[in-house]
Structure 1
Amino acid sequence: MIDELEPTSQLDNIDQALAKFTPTSLSEIDSVSLMNRIDTKYVSNEVLLAQLLEMVRADYKVLEVDGFRRSPYETLYFDTLHRDCYLDHHNGRATRLKFRQRRYMSSGTAFFEVKQKTNRGRTIKRRVPIASIEQTLDDASKDLVLQTRSSGKTLLPQIWTLFSRITLVGLNIAERVTIDTELSFSDEQQDRALEGVTIIEVKQERNLRNSPIRQCLRQLRVPPMRISKYCIGSALLNPTLKRNRFKRKLRVVGSHTS
């Protein structure tokens, strides 16, 4: 497991920008859960994020949990011995899966989650509650796995991720935006931190290009980029993994590292 990163001055600027947003609660955002959705992702840095938040604060509320607007998340990803989930993503398979245990540290809740990317470009997420993150799957988690095409394959814990998440909810459209900062990864041998990097994910029921945050990102010349924290973390931690199709993404991520 990995240690939480210390805050930086850029994060102070981000917190100041977040303080200007109208808050919303976990119960209020349940209506915008978007478990079946279109995702659009972006990679940027903490300097630009503070500017972006100032630009969009009139169009979104921010999730606040126990007075905090950046919430720590802890995730343990599972994959097969031969990293089938990683390779499906690397090789461009249209339909692919990811399996993870995630603890929402602000609320104290934890889930085993299955994310499926369909050949229509949609993301479908299913999950079951768990008591805590463990190195093995409980019966309810195994039952969920049995409903996927990986039902005959053994899943093993592979890498940890830790990050702080900002969650925005659109005021005028059904849209959620998650912004991950303080990203770090670890396995049994080592850990890696992506200091200064932010990953922004816009989640919509359908592809709405008039989204305020997407328009602002275009103004700031931040292009969309398909990226997986699990795959990037795996490639950073394990140099033996196939990575040819991830080299450009790794360069982009590296260019935003402070």
Structure 2
Amino acid sequence: MINTETTPTAYLTEETSPVSLMQNSNLNPAPFELFKSIRLFDSITLKEIQNIGLMNRIDTKFVFHGELLPRLLHQLTNYYNILEIEDSRIFTYENIYWDTPHFSFYHNHHNGKLNRYKVRHRRYKETSATFLEIKFKSNKKRTIKQRMSVQDLHNKMPSTENMFLKQRLPVEFHHLQPSLFGTYKRITFASKKSNERVTIDFDAQFQNPESSKKVHLKKLVIAEVKRPIALASSLFLDIMHNYRIHTSSFSKYCIGCSMTAPEQIKTNRFKMQLRGLNFIELKDNHKWN
């Protein structure tokens, strides 16, 4: 079964920071075979990959079991560069997602509404860079991201950050609160031939801010291809097609909420995805236990 844990209720206060709650969840070390695979790639610097931008883009997602990852990386080695910062190639992302008291962002996604928003704080643990981000999914299925640099993760929205949100969000979304904590590891690739990025996320953990219920997805891999236009060719997409892995509308935020707060929200739309996750987590593979 998917690894879940419920700890005594820990409502957010100024003394109980999201950072301390997330630090109590120790991410698994990456499998040794994965470390060997990523060392075969040519590297790209943070500055170089930032030049690719892609704040306005088309996203294509896939989910699969971690046992496939070493084979997949072997096929990518000669065609993609890997992000490297201070000799690290695997990075930890810490996120605090924000929503209305009635989970409006979540339910808009659940109900299939386009022109929808997501708000989060994100900290890149290895560099300590932290941002407040707004992601907008348009009715043309483009992802548009706006963000501002901030000092740290917060459990209350500072006035300057609140103003940033109010200037960019409809009025019904002006009163937000923490709705989910999430951490995961990420590997980032940039195509050598085109304006394309590929991210590989794994070892995801989610925690409900109020109940402190936790979920740990130890075997799941989430891959995302980010391109400026949908028609651009992509080796990664071709490989996924060859493995018969279909695109997915997987949302870490929505799945995290569905698994840690099912009594507060609708989950019908995600039942098939939740069954698929359970199948992946139950599948026996010693390298990803």
TM-score norm. by structure 2 comes to 0.86
Q: Deviations over 1:166-185 (max 9, x none)?
A: 00001001001111111000
- 1:151-230 to structure 2, matched below 5 A, reads 151-152=171-172, 153-187=174-208, 188-189=210-211, 190-208=213-231, 210-230=233-253
Q: How far apart, CA to CA, are the structure 2 residues paired with 1:247 and 1:33?
A: 34
Percent identity for Structure 1 against Structure 2: 34
Q: How far apart, CA to CA, are the structure 1 residues paired with 2:169 and 2:127?
A: 32
Q: How far apart, CA to CA, are the structure 2 residues paired with 1:165 and 1:104?
A: 10
- 2:268 matches 1:247: no
Q: How far apart, CA to CA, are the structure 1 residues paired with 2:194 and 2:278?
A: 33
Alignment-derived partner of residue 168 in structure 2: 148
- 1:20-169 to structure 2, matched below 5 A, reads 20-152=40-172, 153-169=174-190
**Any idea what SS the aligned residue of 1:235 has?**
helix
What displacement does 1:67 show? 1.1
What amino acid sits opposite 2:207 in the alignment?
A: S
What amino acid sits opposite 1:242 in the alignment?
A: K
Q: Deviations over 1:47-104 (max 9, x none)?
A: 1111111111111000011211110010000000000000000000011000000000
Q: Deviations over 1:86-141 (max 9, x none)?
A: 00000000110000000001111000000000001000000001111001122332
| One of 255, 260, 284 as aligned partner of 1:237 | 260
Q: How far apart, CA to CA, are the structure 2 residues paired with 1:6 and 1:39?
A: 27
What displacement does 1:7 show? 1.6
For the 8 Å contact 1:65–1:71, the answer to whether it is kept is no
What displacement does 1:209 show? 5.5
Q: How far apart, CA to CA, are the structure 2 residues paired with 1:139 and 1:230?
A: 24
Q: Please give the root-mean-square deviation of Cα atoms over the aligned residues, in Å.
A: 1.3
Which one has the largest radius of gyration?
Answer: 2
What displacement does 1:147 show? 2.7
> Any stretches of 5+ residues in structure 2 without a counterpart?
1-20, 283-289
**Any idea what SS the aligned residue of 1:115 has?**
strand
Q: Deviations over 1:28-61 (max 9, x none)?
A: 1111120000000000121111111111111100
Q: Deviations over 1:199-225 (max 9, x none)?
A: 111000001462011111111111110
Q: Measured at CA, do residues 198 and 40 of structure 1 come closer, stay the same or move farther in structure 2, by a change above 3 Å?
A: same
Q: Deviations over 1:195-251 (max 9, x none)?
A: 110111100000146201111111111111011100000000012110111111111
For the 8 Å contact 1:40–1:201, the answer to whether it is kept is yes
Alignment-derived partner of residue 13 in structure 1: 33
**Any idea what SS the aligned residue of 2:140 has?**
coil
What amino acid sits opposite 1:7 in the alignment?
A: P
What amino acid sits opposite 1:150 in the alignment?
A: P
Q: How far apart, CA to CA, are the structure 1 residues paired with 2:90 and 2:169?
A: 35
**Any idea what SS the aligned residue of 2:281 has?**
coil
